[in-house]
């Protein structure tokens, strides 16, 4: 068997059938589909079982809720494919995704294939993201020269894709790192697995093919704003810091930039959602965590004016001012967009 497609399932009964159908409709048929029902309280378990009855390539695991890392660990323990492809249960893949991955692997014998993402909202493409480097094959030296400098974040806020979903990874490479991810990690699980995979991979292929369709949901759990995310990111940094980064010369600088960027992103999300009452708690959580020191050590070069001003204010502990600045940027952007719309009409 060539591929094991692992899909963790939790509270996605509205989206799960389409996700499953996108796998079953693949033009390349040598795969197994592992559906991990992570104690979902809705009808997801029944949906999984119904599909298992229809297609003998489907395996279903029912387990108590333990989170994404726990579900993926359960899935990979029974995976039998040469390569593993992770897919989130509210997303889709193009019908030739596995065929494309198979052809790349057969042509290059690479250990990882990383596809680009198409972000889809209500059936419309709203964005496309990729690893930000040239498409093609990278051997060990190429990984060290091109990927390692942006493993977490370079000075221009560029980084490789942090997502594990959308990547086909050799099972022997992925398994030990997936099983090593702590189940207490509830934000940044992907990064905790992707980083060691890149550190140990002998070769990867970066593809610009928009094979993975990310469903931009208004009701997504991951979009819920919570100031505790600041501490969750601290857990991620502690987790990934246990890796051997001997060949990543500037890893400490990258960690500082990643820490700063994530705190900036959390502050920006609060401003976007008008969470004015959270400003004090955001400041407290950052100052009382490792992030305060990391932010002071973070150095950037070619970044946007908005990012530069916000980070400068954060370095001086002016979080309230940074929040209102970001909120003002949001308001100006909406006015400009409204003006452009009125002009077109």
pLDDT digits (tens, 9 = 90+) for 165-176: 999 999 999 999
| CB-based contact 195:240 (threshold 8 Å) | yes
| CB-based contact 9:40 (threshold 8 Å) | yes
pTM above 0.85, yes or no: yes
DSSP state of 178: H
Residue 35: CB atoms within 10 A of its CB come to: 28
The backbone torsions φ and ψ at residue 25, rounded to the nearest 5 degrees and listed phi first, read: -90, 15
What does the domain layout of the chain look like in residue ranges? Answer: 3-219, 225-344
Predicted local distance difference test score (pLDDT) of residue 142: 98
Predicted local distance difference test score (pLDDT) of residue 335: 85
**Superfamily per CATH, domain 3-219:** Spore Coat Polysaccharide Biosynthesis Protein SpsA; Chain A (3.90.550.10)
What order of strands is seen across the sheet that includes strand 83-86?
A: 58-63, 31-38, 3-9, 83-86, 167-170, 112-114, 203-206, 136-139
pLDDT digits (tens, 9 = 90+) for 220-272: 544 557 899 999 999 999 999 999 999 999 999 999 999 999 999 999 999 99
């Amino acid at each position: 068997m060539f591929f094991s497609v692992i899909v963790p399932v939790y509270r996605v009964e509205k989206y799960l059938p389409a996700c499953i159908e996108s796998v079953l409709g693949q033009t390349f048929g040598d795969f197994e589909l592992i559906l991990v029902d992570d104690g979902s309280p809705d009808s997801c378990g029944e949906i999984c079982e119904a599909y298992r009855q229809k297609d003998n390539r489907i395996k279903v695991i029912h387990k108590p809720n333990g989170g994404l890392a726990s579900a993926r660990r359960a899935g990979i323990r029974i995976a039998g494919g040469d390569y593993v492809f992770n897919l989130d249960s509210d997303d889709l893949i193009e019908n030739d995704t596995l065929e494309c991955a198979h052809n790349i692997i057969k042509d290059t014998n690479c250990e990882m294939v990383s596809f680009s993402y198409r972000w889809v909202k209500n059936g419309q493409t709203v964005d496309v993201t990729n690893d930000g480097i040239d498409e093609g094959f990278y051997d060990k030296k190429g990984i060290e020269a091109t990927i390692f400098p942006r493993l977490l974040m370079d000075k221009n806020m560029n980084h490789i894709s942090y997502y594990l979903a959308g990547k086909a990874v050799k099972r022997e490479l992925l398994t030990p790192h997936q099983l090593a991810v702590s189940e207490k990690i509830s934000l940044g699980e992907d990064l905790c697995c992707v980083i060691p995979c890149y550190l140990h991979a002998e070769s990867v292929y970066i593809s610009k093919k928009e094979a993975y369709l990310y469903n931009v949901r208004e009701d997504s759990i991951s979009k819920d704003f919570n100031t505790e995310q600041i501490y969750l990111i601290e857990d991620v940094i502690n987790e990934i810091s246990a890796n051997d980064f001997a060949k990543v010369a500037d890893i400490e600088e990258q960690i500082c930039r990643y820490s700063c960027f994530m705190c900036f992103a959390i502050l920006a999300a609060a401003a976007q959602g008008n969470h004015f009452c959270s400003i004090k708690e955001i400041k407290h959580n950052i100052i009382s965590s490792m992030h305060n020191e990391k932010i002071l050590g973070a150095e950037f070069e070619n970044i946007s004016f908005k990012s530069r001003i916000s980070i400068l204010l954060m370095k001086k502990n002016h979080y309230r001012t940074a929040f209102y600045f970001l909120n003002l940027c949001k308001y100006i952007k909406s006015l400009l967009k409204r003006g452009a719309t009125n002009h077109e009409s």
